[in-house]
Amino acid sequence: MNMTLCFVLGLSLLLYFKTVAQTLCTDTRLLHNVTKGQMLPTHKIQSFTAPGLMICARECVYQTNCLSFNFGPESGQCDLTRAVAGPSLPLVSKTGYLYASKSDWVTAIAENCKHVNCAPNHICVPSKTGNMCVLNDCGIPPVIDFGSSSEYRGTVIGYTATYNCSGIGVKAEVAPLTCLDTGAWEGRHCRRVSSCEDVQDCDSSYVDGEYWIYPNAFGNDERVKVYCHRLTSDSPMDYITLPNMNRLLWPPQKCPILTVTW
Ligand SMILES: *[C@@H]1O[C@H](CO)[C@@H](O)[C@H](O)[C@H]1NC(C)=O
Ligand SMILES: *[C@@H]1O[C@H](CO)[C@@H](O)[C@H](O)[C@H]1NC(C)=O
């Protein structure tokens, strides 16, 4: 008996697939392997709208890092995820969603890419001349100095990961990194306080006095003690405190030249 059907009948689960009936057939055995009413909320690689379950499954099969997916048949929401649910990574209830593990679907995807082993962070792109593996994922965002754990909705090219920066002498700001087409997360990392203006931003109750700052002129990683003047005003000024009396000749004088008279 041919178990591969372009489904027509009214089992409630089959309704999930109605939108793709024209374009993709599904293996009805797979319908037993989806977990209805649940999803994996973490480990996202990418989210997009897919016209049907089979398209969502296919995108997961094509991406090396994808191990499972969530699909919302009503909304078309398709989340590709880099982990498989299990005892240490439980699914959460979510009405209108289903969860499926990629391994159950590889054999059901009709196109060539199922036989292709692309490297991690790559996606298989079918083409007339063969299948191509294309870099599309930056992987899990890195740990950055003074950054919190990252927050992100996905890890493929164009997605952003954000970190809250904190620590002594560190500007309290959000550092964003973006996944570039080089496959690397790039962007502004957490910065240290580099001027009296930054000191003022840290806490508006700070008053004039000496502070350690990390001037950008020294790469933002060597500290220098400065006196911050008018810290409570709109234009605080940075001064270096000199331990001893200092003298400066201005304008600078040329070295004396020995002139010889005959
Ligand atoms: C569905 O899952 C069961 C175990 O839960 C497994 O034995 C079976 O092979 C899976 N079906 C398919 C089509 O992968
Ligand atoms: C940063 O902090 C804000 C406020 O506490 C919080 O809502 C947000 O989720 C945090 N972001 C990250 C990346 O930790």
Q: Label residue 150 by pLDDT band (50, 70, 90).
A: very high
Contact 51, 59 (CB under 8 A): no
Query: Which residue out of 36, 104, 107 has the highest number of ligand 1 atoms within 8 Å of its CB and is therefore the one to mutate?
Result: 104
Q: How far is the CA of 44 from the centre of ligand 2 (A)?
A: 18
Least confident of 4-8, 160-164, 201-205, 230-234: 4-8
Q: Which residue has the higher pLDDT, 34 or 243?
A: 34
Q: How far is CA 136 from the centre of its chain?
A: 13
Mutate to test the pocket of ligand 1, among 29, 32, 33 (most ligand atoms within 8 A of CB): 33
The Å distance, Cα 108 to ligand 1 centre, comes to 12
Name the closest-CA residue to atom 1, ligand 2.
164
pTM of this prediction? 0.75
Average pLDDT of span 99-103: 93
Q: Please choose, from the candidates 40, 34, 35, the residue with its C-alpha nearest in 3D space to the C-alpha of residue 85.
A: 40
Atom of ligand 1 nearest to the CA of 104: 14
* Nearest ligand 2 atom to alpha carbon 148: 14
Ligand 1 atom with the shortest distance to the CA of 105: 14
Using only C-alpha atoms, what is the Rg of the chain? 30
Which of 151, 153, 170, 177 is the pocket-test mutation for ligand 2 (most atoms within 8 Å of CB)?
A: 151
Identify the residue whose C-alpha is closest to ligand 1 atom 1: 33
Higher pLDDT pick, 247 / 44: 44
pLDDT at 39: 97
Residue 189 has pLDDT above 90, yes or no: yes
Q: Domains of the chain by range and CATH? A: 17-115 (3.50.4.10), 138-191 (2.10.70), 192-262 (no CATH)
Predicted local confidence at residue 130, as pLDDT: 81
Dihedral sign (CA 32, 37, 42, 46): positive
Q: How far is the CA of 177 from the centre of ligand 2 (A)?
A: 15
pLDDT of residue 16: 41
Contact 51, 75 (CB under 8 A): no
The mean pLDDT of 173-200, rounded to a whole number, is 96
